[in-house]
Amino acid sequence: MVCTALQMDYLKPELAFARGVVLTGVEEPVTIPDQFRADILLLLPRLRRFAFSLTRSGPDADDLLQDACISALANWQQYDAAQPFDRWMFRIVRNSWISEIRKRKVRLGEGNVPAEDASELQTEQVADVSLEVKDVMGEVAHLPQELSQPLLLVCAEGYSYQETADLLDVPKGTVMSRIHRARKLLMVQLKEEKGA
């Protein structure tokens, strides 16, 4: 295995041999900027929230967050500083989740899964919400994932409808209708609570 400059970031020369890596001696030393790590750390609470909204499971959200952060660090040179960093990281979280879903479906013997099928694991009405999800997500726990995600991005993250559509790979009109459906469902829920 020949180590590229990107991969070298994680390797001390003395450890490279032990890990089966051959350094060619011509690579330029490249290290991950400290500020890049600090920026990821600052985003962690928001990334964890987004990860939980995708996975609806604490352990899965933690695994997804870990995978996404490692992926971001490994690809830090691909980040275009002219773009918002949080958007780039959210995209990585989502792509990592799609990748995980594909792996799970393959493991279940369902073969390779196209992206459009893998993008949302739970798109139907959430009939049975776990206590953990209720605990973490509060009033929005009962919203189906397909509704809570655009609401999260627009309402809490300040995304525009177009930015949300780009991230979730759905048309802008779909984002608009899903956000409205989410609020209407919450309204019904609130009325029921008030009536109770």
Partner 1 sequence: MTDISVKLSAYLDGELDEDEARLIEAQLADDPLLQQELDELVEANSIALLSFENMLHEPIELSVAQSIKTADETDAIPDFEADVTANERKVIDGVFDQPSVKRQRDADQQQLAVRSPLWRSMAASLILFLLGGAGGYTLHKEMFAGGAPVEIAAVEKRGWLKEIADYHAVYSTEERHLVEVRGDKKEHLTNWLVKKTGASFQVPDLSGLGYVFEGGRLLVADGRPVAQLIYRDKDATVVALCIQKMPAGMFSDKSKDQIGAADMKKNTIKDFDFFSWASGAVHYVVVGPNGKTELEKIALEAARHI
CB 93 within 8 A of CB 54: yes
- Across-strand partners of 22? 2
Q: Is residue 139 helix, strand or coil?
A: helix
Q: How far does the chain reach from its first CA to its final CA, in angstroms? A: 65
CB of 101 to partner 1, least distance (A): 20
Cβ proximity to partner 1, 49 vs 91, nearer residue: 49
Cβ proximity to partner 1, 22 vs 106, nearer residue: 22
Cβ proximity to partner 1, 139 vs 169, nearer residue: 139
Provide the binding-site residues for partner 1, judged by CB under 8 A: 9-12, 15, 31-35, 37-38, 40-46, 48-49, 52-53, 58, 62, 65-66, 69-70, 73, 136-141, 151-152, 154-156, 160-161, 176-177, 179-184, 186-187, 190, 194
**Enclosing H/E stretch for 191:** helix 172-195
Q: Is 175 exposed, middle or buried (0-12, 13-18, 19+ CB in 10 A)?
A: buried
CB of 46 to partner 1, least distance (A): 6
Cβ proximity to partner 1, 109 vs 138, nearer residue: 138
Cβ proximity to partner 1, 43 vs 101, nearer residue: 43
CB of 82 to partner 1, least distance (A): 22
Distance between CA atoms of 71 and 67, rounded to whole angstroms?
6
Distance between CA atoms of 169 and 119, rounded to whole angstroms?
9
CB of 32 to partner 1, least distance (A): 5
CB of 113 to partner 1, least distance (A): 27
Phi, psi of 85 (to 5 degrees): -65, -40
Distance between CA atoms of 175 and 147, rounded to whole angstroms?
9
Distance between CA atoms of 19 and 150, rounded to whole angstroms?
43
Cβ proximity to partner 1, 61 vs 101, nearer residue: 61
CB of 102 to partner 1, least distance (A): 22
